[in-house]
Structure 1
Amino acid sequence: MGGVAWNRKGYRHMKKISITVPCYNEAGNVRKMAETLTSIMKGLPYDYEIVFTDNCSTDGTREILRELAGKDSRIKVLLNSRNYGVDGRSARNTSQYLSGDVMIWIACDFQDPPELIPEFIRCWEEGYMVVCGQKTGSREGKIKYGCRSIFYKLIQMLSDVPQYEHISGIMLYDRKVMLECIKADYDINLRFLLADMGYKVKLIQYEQRERKSGRSSYNIWRYLTFAINSMVVTSSAPLRMMTVLGIIMSAISFLIGIIYLVLKLTSWHNFQAGTAPVLIGMFFLGSVQLLFMGILGEYVSVILRKVTKRPDVILSDKLNFDDIQEKVSNL
Structure 2
Amino acid sequence: MIDISIIVPLYNEEAVFGQLIQRLTSVINNTAFSCEVILINDGSSDNTASLIEAICKEDSRFTGILLSRNYGHQLAVSAGLANVRGKKAAMIIDGDLQDPPELINEFYGLLTKGYDVIYAIRKNRKEGFFKKMAYSAYYRLQKKISNFNIPIDSGDFSMLSRRVVDNINDMPEQSRYLRGMRAWVGFKQIGYEYNRDERQAGETKYSWSKLFELAFNGIFNFSDFPVKVIARLGFFTILFSLVYFAYNIYRRIFYNDVPQGFTATILAIILFSGVQLISLGLIGEYVLRIYNQVRKRPLFIIDKIVQDGKEKEQ
Residue aligning to 1:94: 80
Q: Tell whether 2:194 aligns with 1:206.
A: yes
SS in 2 for 1:87: helix
Q: Offset at 1:48?
A: 1.4
In the aligned structure 2, how far is the partner of 1:140 from the partner of 1:267?
60
Tell me the distance in 1 between the aligned counterparts of 2:285 and 2:308: 39
SS at match of 1:120: helix
| 2:252 counterpart of 1:250 | no
The one-letter code sitting in structure 2 at the alignment partner of 1:151 is Y
Q: Is this contact kept in 1: 2:8–2:77, CA < 8 A?
A: no
Report the equivalent of 2:251: 263
The partner residue of 1:60 within 47, 52, 65 is 47
Give 1:1-331 correspondences, 5 Å limit: 16-88=3-75, 90-101=76-87, 102-186=89-173, 187-268=175-256, 270-320=257-307
C-alpha distance in 2, partners of 1:209/1:60? 24
Cα distance 1:63–1:247, how it changes in 2: closer, same or farther (>3 A)?
same
Q: Deviations over 1:129-152 (max 9, x none)?
A: 111111011112232122111001
SS of 1:234 mapped into structure 2: coil
Pairwise CA distance, 1:161: 0.7
Give, in whole Å, the separation in 1 of the partners of 2:298 and 2:259.
63
Shift of 1:175: 0.6
Letter of the 2:252 partner, please give it. K
Q: CA contact under 8 A between 2:180 and 2:222: conserved in structure 1?
A: yes
CA contact (8 A) 2:248 2:258 kept: no
322 and 28 in structure 1: CA distance in 2 versus 1, 3 angstrom threshold: closer
State how far apart, in whole Å, the 1-side matches of 2:243 and 2:133 are: 40
Contact 2:77 2:92 in 1 (8 A): no
| Amino acid of the structure 2 residue aligned with 1:259 | Y
Q: Secondary structure of 2:40's match?
A: strand
Q: Return the alpha-carbon distance in structure 2 between the equivalents of residues 169 and 252 of structure 1.
A: 44
Is the alpha carbon distance of 1:116 and 1:76 closer, same or farther for their aligned partners in structure 2, counting shifts above 3 Å?
Answer: same
Q: Please report how far the alpha carbon of residue 271 of structure 1 lies from its aligned counterpart in structure 2 after TM superposition.
A: 4.3
In 2 relative to 1, CA 295–87 (structure 1 residues): closer, same or farther, beyond 3 Å? Answer: same
In structure 1, list runs of 5 or more residues that go unmatched.
Answer: 1-13
Structure 2: runs of 5 or more not aligned? none
Instruction: Provide TM-score, normalisation by structure 1.
Output: 0.89
Q: Give, as a single letter, the amino acid of the residue that structure 2 aligns with 1:314.
A: I
Give the conservation status (yes or no) of the 8 Å contact 1:54–1:77: yes
* Residue equivalent to 1:11: none
User: Secondary structure at 1:108's aligned position in 2?
Assistant: coil
Change (3 A) 1:54 1:117: same
Give 1:47's aligned amino acid: S
Distance of 2:47 and 2:68 partners within structure 1: 15
Determine what percentage of the aligned residue pairs are the same residue. 26
Q: How many residues align?
A: 311
Cα 1:263/1:279, change in 2 over 3 Å: same
What is the CA-CA distance between 1:326 and the residue it aligns to?
10
Q: Structure 1 pair 294/154, CA: closer, same or farther in 2 (3 Å)? A: same
Measure the CA separation in 2 of the matches of 1:285 and 1:124.
54
- What's the TM-score once normalised by structure 2's chain length? 0.93
* Distance change >3 Å, CA 183–CA 204, structure 1 → 2: same
CA deviations 1:277-307 (Å, max 9, x no partner) are 1112211221121111111110100111121
Residues 5, 85 of structure 2: 8 Å contact kept: yes
1:16, 1:29 → 2: CA distance? 26
User: Following TM superposition, where does structure 1 have runs of at least 4 consecutive aligned residues deviating by more than 4 angstroms?
Assistant: none
